[in-house]
Amino acid sequence: MESVLRYWLLWPSVVHFLQQNSWAWPLSETLHFFGVNLLIGGVGLFDLRVMGLAKALPIRAVRKLLPWGVFGFILCVVTGLAFVTGLQANIPAHPYDVIMSDLWLQLKLVFMALAGLNLLAFYLTGMSRAVDDLGPGEDAPQLAKIIAGSSLFFWLMVIYFGRLIPDGL
Amino acid sequence: MWEFLASIENSAFPTWVRETSSIFGYYTVLASHTFGMAFLVGLSSVVAARALGLFPDMPLSPMQKFVPLIMVGFWVNLVSGLILISLSPKNFFTNWDFWLKMAAIVCAIVAARSLRASVFGGDPATIDKRPISASAKTSAVAMLAFWLVAVTAGRLTAYAGWVREETAVAVVVFTVVALVAHEVWVRVAAT
């Protein structure tokens, strides 16, 4: 298993690209931040509305922000994968060893998984459909509020532990 | 001047933040700066996008409720930013990239205030009935552009030399490609 992960986590072509193009690493960092802004602007604002802030906004309209949040998430995932698979362009360590030893990176991944499971719960419990028709001034069910609050909390924790990663290297 | 800055740098709190092994030192201040950015830039950008005609089904009036959160983001960023500067003021003050970031933030705040006055000002009952003015749209575009510059310059303060200019060009290319792709997407979806 370890040898498989060691093979999959290190991409020499990405390392080579990042080494040959000095702008590629800082560009990835900048786009990672753009992604965070889009994620909070899209998914975060949706969560806040479901939790009860700005209740006069109809959910169906706020839902249209979600593709922007998803785009932000994709930006973060792609650039995050560039940091992992191309890590050796920045520090002389194998990504597998970093994942196994950096507690903050592990916690970031755990909170990303929790955010994913939370999203799954939002759909599987029927809360997604339950909030869909909420018009201006209408309150979301309690469970939907809990899931939305958890979503915001999990994403903020992903950001927090993401910032701590260099401390664990 | 430099002695004064050095005295700030060597005072107790910045020294603790810089040198402590606790995660509640430097990295938590850095994370707070990112939280502030996410709420300030992320939420205000949605208001700007709405003013520019995206998400037309979303009424503007209730979006005023996000303004206090946007302000919290601003104050968190101001405080955490001042702490980060105090860790190494000379390095920041002699870095043109830092001044570019500061200028972009000031311009973005001015544009954001102008946008807020244009879309949320006047009779509250008419906010969702009146058309978005050209000046509001100009403020929205300016704010988004200045946030883009501020976030990019902020990230690049950690770098030195030509890599900053190269990265800035790469960010501009990415942004133009993303905007063109969005325009194509909208047109294809409309047909």
What does DSSP assign to residue B24? T
> Domain for residue A91, yes or no?
yes
A41 vs B55: CB contact, 8 Å cut-off?
no
CA distance B30 to chain A (A): 7
Q: Chain A interface residues facing chain B, Cβ-Cβ under 8 Å?
A: 22-24, 26-27, 29-31, 33-34, 36-42, 44-45, 48, 53-58, 60-62, 64-65, 136, 156, 159-160, 163-164, 166-167
Distant-in-sequence, close-in-space partners of A158: CB < 8 Å, separation ≥ 6: A108, A111, A112, A115
Residue range A46-72, pLDDT digits in tens: 999 999 999 999 999 999 999 999 999
The pLDDT of residue B17 is above 90: yes
With 0-12 CB in 10 A as exposed, 13-18 as middle and 19+ as buried, what is B70? buried
- Rounded to the nearest 10 degrees, how much is the dihedral formed by the CA atoms of B1, B6, B11, B16? 140
pTM of this prediction exceeds 0.90: yes
> Domain for residue A2, yes or no?
no
Q: Which of B58, B151, B155 sits opposite A26 (nearest CB)?
A: B155
> Domain for residue A82, yes or no?
yes
Of the candidates A38, A6, A164, A16, the residue with the CA atom closest to the CA atom of residue B23 = A164
A100: containing domain: 17-168
Place of tokens 């005609």: B53
Confidence (pLDDT) at A23: 95
> Domain for residue A148, yes or no?
yes
Confidence (pLDDT) at A142: 96
> Domain for residue A8, yes or no?
no
Using an 8 Å CB-CB cutoff, list chain B residues near A160: 28, 31, 35
B37 vs A163: CB contact, 8 Å cut-off?
no
- Average pLDDT over chain A reads 94
Residue range B84-132, pLDDT digits in tens: 999 999 999 999 999 999 999 999 999 999 999 999 988 888 888 888 9
**Number of domains, chain A:** 1
> Domain for residue A95, yes or no?
yes
Residue range A106-138, pLDDT digits in tens: 999 999 999 999 999 999 999 999 999 898 999
Residue range B33-84, pLDDT digits in tens: 999 999 999 999 999 999 999 999 999 999 999 999 999 999 999 999 999 9
Instruction: Report the phi/psi class of residue B161: left, alpha or beta, with left for phi > 0 and alpha for psi in -120 to 50.
Output: left
> Domain for residue A121, yes or no?
yes
When scoring A107, A132, A158, A163 by the number of chain B Cβ atoms within 10 A, the one with the most, hence best to mutate, is A163
> Domain for residue A61, yes or no?
yes
